Structure 1
Amino acid sequence: MAQPPSPHVERPGPAEVRDPLVLTELKRAGVWAGVVLAVLGVIYLAEPLLLIIGGLIFAVLLDGGARLIGRALPIPRGVRLVLVIFLCLGFFGWLFWYAGTTFAGQFEALRQTVEAQGAKLLGWAHTHGLVDEDRPQMVTQQLVGSVGRLTSALGSAIGVITSAVLILALGIFFASEPRLYHRGVAWMLPLRKRDFFYRLLERVGFNLRRLLFGRLLGMITEGLFTWAMLAAGGVPFAALLALITGSLAFIPNIGALISGALMVAVGFSAGTGTGVWAIIVYFAVHNIEGYVVMPYIARKTVDLAPAAVLAAQLIFGALFGFLGLLLADPILASLKVALEEWAGVDPHAEEGEEVASPE
């Protein structure tokens, strides 16, 4: 007759899982649950995450400026960084003051001019049977609605200022003590992955510094060239259009289309000859950017396909609003560099040469 089990002997309960198949399936379920939670986190925390990413990108810009000054002035990094911060804040302050005092009245006049030219274009299309009678009003409403959706992440002027201040503050904190944040993230990784993590940070930072420097160079070049050409052709609001064109040059593809549409609309408001000249200026400016400036930047940084950049801008703009559109290019460049590093591929290496893999 079997003896009853001793009351002091522990036995497996219903929560005890020892079957290897069950353990494997539980691990898989945990991975998928983690992916779902990560996607939900990105959706519901999109704006804070984009502000943090914007702060990181601004920190890379500050670090690049400090490194550039270090080539000419052998002073401590902290002093160079403070100098770059004051230069950036001074430039932004001058830009807002100059735009506010010089272009305050021109902004409203520019808006009215563009609206009038748009109404003329839609009226011409209606006359030639290209749109229905009620179609112009519907098109205008759709455009206004699209712009509203695009800027919904920022909300209002207060939201713009708040987002800008947060990005500036985060960028200054990140750039002040980068090693502190690097070590903090690396501490959460396994020891065998940390060398790869530091190598990845160095390569992403290097490429982003080059990319942002190229963007700034393109903005200055386009702004000055646009102002000189428009002023020479007698196009109204030449300085304001040059400021808008230079600012929108930070956003490839979409920025060029917006600035070009404004330029051409204002040109035709002053006459047919001025409008034709505005078209010539638009194509000249963006051909120089597309065939001279951007290929040079691409050779020195991440070689991004224009279609991939445009697709990323459309997706990020639709999902995350204006901040997503603004940061799509640097995010795509960082992802490309990270994937190349993970795969052990160096696009600038000789044929057959590889970099170390993460393992």
Structure 2
Amino acid sequence: MATDTPLVQEPSPNELRDPFVRQELKRASVWFGMAGAIALTVLLIQPLLIILAGIVFAALLDGGVRLLGKVLPIGRGWRLLIVVLLVVAFLLGTFYLTGVQVTEQVTQLRSTLEAQANRFTSFLSKQGLMPGASDLNGIAKQALGSVGRVTSWVGTAIGAITSLFMMLVLGLFLAIEPGVYERGLQWLVPTDARPEFARTIRRMGVTLRKLLAGRLVGMAFEGVFTGIALAIGGVPMAMLLGIIAGILAFIPNIGAIITGVLMVAVGFSAGTHTGIWALVTYLVVQTIDGYVVVPMVARRTVDLPPALTLGTQIMASALFGILGLALADPMTAMVKTALERSAEREGEQAGE
């Protein structure tokens, strides 16, 4: 017998009209979105690092343009052209004047390091600190091969040159019209958050320019002073060691350690007195740089705690390779700036 059963009025669980279903779906979407973003970042980490390197290069060019603007009151495009031409002229002039000598010294440096490594291994074996004599040629070649990779994504010399070219071109395009790309980033942010986002982006740009300016000063000091001091002491390959010291000064802490090992190894290959001179040169340069140059530069640029930079460099090198190691400091400086601005905003809101 049929009964008059009333119709169910509530929405079913599979209908989005249910407030509970909509709320849970939003939460699930957020978590799935975060997981997808993390997975996408892991897959695209090498291209992202290349883009970040282009941004760093663009900040370097922009700093030169702004500095030149204090002297030459001309258009930004002309100032950028002058900066690019000066950079190209410096690089071509350096390679033209020192190219042949540096090429010969690179081959000599590799042979010297292999000989010193074998000598050191034999000494440890005689002292009973190693199970037996071992030839480090294979290990050295393996290490040099791994260090020579710009990224794991680009494993060949042609790929490395292509990546470098992409960084330079990307940085040049960003430096030509930075406002266009900044407005594009603001467009991706909700309207009410755009003023604060723009303020944070500008502050991060200022921090990055100051950091790079300080790095260039340190690189110039260490490279020139090291090369001259080693040449006076008669250390072989003084010019190459000076260039390496200047380049590695871009990576504080770890770069200084690598420079010291190379200088001491090459110095002792020419004799005890030369090795002592190289060791003293390294200690003097690092002392002056650590207690005079770095504090002076840090007061006007970005003062990053040494333990923070070293920890970031270790993690970045382990996760992203040599390119991550080179970009560890810029990444740390930008994140630090964003966190400081966030803390300031919270303090302003609490004071209202």
Partner of 2:56: 57
Partner of 1:200: 200
Q: Determine the C-alpha separation between the residues in 1 that align with 2:17 and 2:10.
A: 13
Q: Is the 8 A contact 1:341 1:355 kept in 2?
A: no
Letter in 1 for 2:340: E
Q: Which runs of 5+ in 1 are unaligned?
A: 347-353
Partner of 1:210: 210
Q: Determine the C-alpha separation between the residues in 1 that align with 2:68 and 2:78.
A: 10
Letter in 2 for 1:285: V
1:314 is aligned to 2:314:
yes
Across the two proteins, how many residue pairs are aligned to each other?
A: 345
Partner of 2:326: 326
- 1:148-187 matches, within 5 Å, as 148-150=145-147, 151=149, 152-153=151-152, 154-187=154-187
Q: Determine the C-alpha separation between the residues in 1 that align with 2:339 and 2:139.
A: 38
1:126 is aligned to 2:119:
no
Letter in 2 for 1:40: A
Q: Is the 8 A contact 1:210 1:297 kept in 2?
A: no
Q: Determine the C-alpha separation between the residues in 2 that align with 1:94 and 1:231.
A: 21
Over residues 78-131 of structure 1, what are the superposed CA-to-partner deviations in whole Å (9 max), with x where a residue is unaligned? 110111111122223333444432211111111101111111111111111111
Q: Determine the C-alpha separation between the residues in 2 that align with 1:50 and 1:68.
A: 27
Q: Determine the C-alpha separation between the residues in 1 that align with 2:37 and 2:296.
A: 37
Q: Determine the C-alpha separation between the residues in 1 that align with 2:348 and 2:156.
A: 46
Q: Determine the C-alpha separation between the residues in 1 that align with 2:249 and 2:349.
A: 36
Q: Determine the C-alpha separation between the residues in 2 that align with 1:3 and 1:127.
A: 97
Over residues 270-291 of structure 1, what are the superposed CA-to-partner deviations in whole Å (9 max), with x where a residue is unaligned? 1111101111111111112211
DSSP 3-state at the match of 2:327: helix
Q: Determine the C-alpha separation between the residues in 1 that align with 2:19 and 2:208.
A: 46
- 1:196-345 matches, within 5 Å, as 196-344=196-344
How big is the alpha-carbon RMSD for the aligned residues of Structure 1 and Structure 2?
Answer: 2.4
Instruction: Report the TM-score, using the length of structure 2 for normalisation.
Output: 0.90
DSSP 3-state at the match of 1:16: coil
Identity of aligned residues (%): 48
Partner of 2:102: 103
User: Post-superposition shift, 1:183?
Assistant: 0.8
Letter in 2 for 1:111: R
Letter in 2 for 1:167: M
Partner of 1:350: none
Instruction: Report the TM-score, using the length of structure 1 for normalisation.
Output: 0.89
Partner of 2:79: 80
Over residues 208-264 of structure 1, what are the superposed CA-to-partner deviations in whole Å (9 max), with x where a residue is unaligned? 111101101111111111011111111111111101111111111111111111100
Letter in 2 for 1:207: T
User: Post-superposition shift, 1:296?
Assistant: 2.4
Q: Is the 8 A contact 1:211 1:297 kept in 2?
A: no
Q: Determine the C-alpha separation between the residues in 2 that align with 1:212 and 1:33.
A: 37
Letter in 2 for 1:156: T
Q: Which runs of 5+ in 2 are unaligned?
A: none
